């Protein structure tokens, strides 16, 4: 049956779905991360400090996490379309409202509601991508879809945002991102399909399409381990994304354009790592790739801490750090989780991993980092990322391999 399905695979729908779901995730990323390179300017206008930056970054992550926890379960019950399409329209409209913020409270409220919409989109879009993908292309396709986040949100957004500041005020930059989001919503409405559980079961290690209680996700040891792993990877990412702009400007003394250039390495490195590492895992396994990635991230963070005001060198080391970190994020929320649970729990499991990871790694970590920056100096915040990665190494050594292609489909070409 699996060979028959492979021969009849709808490749046209596969690529349309992957591209559109990736575009949606790219717009999520722009909405989420564009505020970071703009923050040094917004600080002056709105009277904010480093601790406030931690709050603004953290509130979106916390509501994103809570939303992922609940919306993943709803997506498994009602189908991807019912969650994904409204979420895209809502977060696009709300992103424009960020430019209307007049102080900390209004900014926190707007970012909190954006987090709800984006948290709903994330787990549903991950599993919709896996369901649309031929099983031998799980890592590759999810890598392409997830790569849109670092590429759009962390590579292009810092460059575009810092350059647009020469032309318009920061308020208007937020308004510009609404239109492509609404267009993406219309296209997803026309293209995206819901997947039945029997078809989805082919994408899991269990091949189980039966009904389950949501708590059954914890019967897979990968789910609780991946929750901890996600916390670690997001702590590293959020510390770098939120505090590196001020670290580069205030501690190392770079100017605004140099900062934008160095920060774009997070996006370019993340985009490449998100495609290369999961794609490699389709061939050699999820676990070995994740172990090498954690070690690579730790080594890169060490060199980042040793580097002074050298934009070219900073760019290369930061590229390497997030190359490994984003590969880990993609494999953790994708194959290492979804392939280890029954079909009717795939989005629930991903929602739990994304949700708890976001609440603590994305929500609590920036608050801790903000406290460190305010009371001990911004040069010390990178140590938090090092500690997170060291804990992550224990996690990846303990997870179960989920790649089933080698033994399940030896006769099907990749």
Q: What is the pLDDT of residues 199-243, one digit of tens each?
A: 554 555 555 555 666 667 777 788 889 999 998 998 898 888 878
Q: What is the pLDDT of residue 273?
A: 93
Helix (H) or strand (E) holding 364: none
Separation between Cα atoms, residue 58 and residue 242, nearest integer Å: 10
Q: What is the pLDDT of residues 38-93, one digit of tens each?
A: 888 888 888 887 778 778 878 888 898 888 888 877 877 788 788 899 998 888 88
Q: Are 382 and 239 in contact (CB under 8 A)?
A: yes
Separation between Cα atoms, residue 339 and residue 139, nearest integer Å: 11
| More confident: 386 or 137 | 386
Instruction: Classify the C-alpha dihedral 128-130-131-133 as positive or negative.
Output: positive
Q: What is the average per-residue pLDDT within 269-296?
A: 92
**What CATH number was assigned to the domain covering residues 2-408?**
1.20.1250.20
Separation between Cα atoms, residue 64 and residue 117, nearest integer Å: 7
Q: Are 195 and 80 in contact (CB under 8 A)?
A: yes
End-to-end CA gap in the chain: 17
Whole-angstrom CA distances from 330 to 80, 263, 277, 358 are: 19, 20, 9, 14
Domain layout of the chain by residue ranges: 2-408
Mean pLDDT taken over the chain: 82
pLDDT band at 196 (very low <50, low <70, confident <90, very high): low
């Amino acid at each position: 049956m699996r060979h028959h399905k492979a021969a009849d695979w709808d490749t046209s729908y596969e690529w349309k779905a992957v591209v559109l779901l990736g575009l949606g995730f790219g717009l999520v990323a722009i909405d989420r991360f564009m505020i970071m390179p703009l923050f040094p300017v917004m600080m002056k206008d709105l009277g904010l400090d480093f601790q406030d930056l931690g709050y603004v970054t953290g509130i979106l992550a916390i509501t994103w996490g809570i939303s992922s926890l609940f919306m993943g379960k709803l997506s498994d019950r009602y189908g991807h379309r019912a969650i994904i399409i409204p979420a895209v329209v809502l977060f696009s409209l709300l992103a424009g409202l960020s430019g209307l913020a007049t102080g900390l409270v209004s900014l926190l409220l707007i970012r909190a509601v954006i987090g709800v919409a984006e948290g709903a989109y994330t787990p549903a879009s991950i599993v919709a991508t896996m369901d649309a993908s031929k099983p031998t292309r799980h890592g590759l396709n999810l890598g392409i879809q997830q790569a849109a986040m670092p590429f759009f949100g962390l590579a292009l957004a810092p460059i575009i945002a810092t350059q647009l500041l020469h032309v318009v005020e920061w308020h208007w930059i937020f308004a510009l991102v609404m239109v492509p989001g609404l267009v993406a919503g219309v296209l997803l409405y026309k293209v995206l399909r819901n997947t039945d559980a029997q078809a989805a079961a082919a994408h899991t290690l269990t091949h189980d399409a039966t009904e389950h209680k949501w708590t059954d996700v914890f019967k897979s040891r990968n789910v609780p381990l991946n929750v901890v792993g996600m916390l670690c990877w997001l702590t590293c990412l959020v510390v770098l994304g939120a505090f590196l702009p001020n670290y580069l400007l205030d501690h190392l003394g770079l100017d605004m354009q140099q900062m934008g250039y160095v920060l774009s390495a997070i996006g370019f490195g993340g985009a490449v790592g998100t495609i290369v590492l999961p794609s490699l895992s389709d061939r050699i396994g999820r676990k070995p790739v994740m172990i090498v990635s954690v070690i690579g991230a730790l080594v890169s963070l060490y060199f980042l801490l040793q580097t002074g005001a050298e934009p070219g060198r900073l760019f290369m080391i930061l590229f390497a750090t997030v190359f490994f970190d984003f590969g880990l994020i993609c494999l953790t929320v994708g194959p290492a989780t979804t392939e280890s649970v029954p079909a009717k729990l795939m989005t629930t499991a991903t929602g739990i991993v994304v949700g708890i990871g976001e609440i603590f790694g994305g929500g609590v970590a920036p608050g801790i980092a903000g406290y460190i920056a305010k009371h001990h100096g911004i040069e010390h915040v990178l140590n938090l990322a090092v500690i997170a990665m060291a804990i992550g190494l224990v996690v990846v050594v303990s997870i179960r391999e989920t790649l089933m292609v080698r033994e399940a489909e030896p006769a099907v070409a990749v």
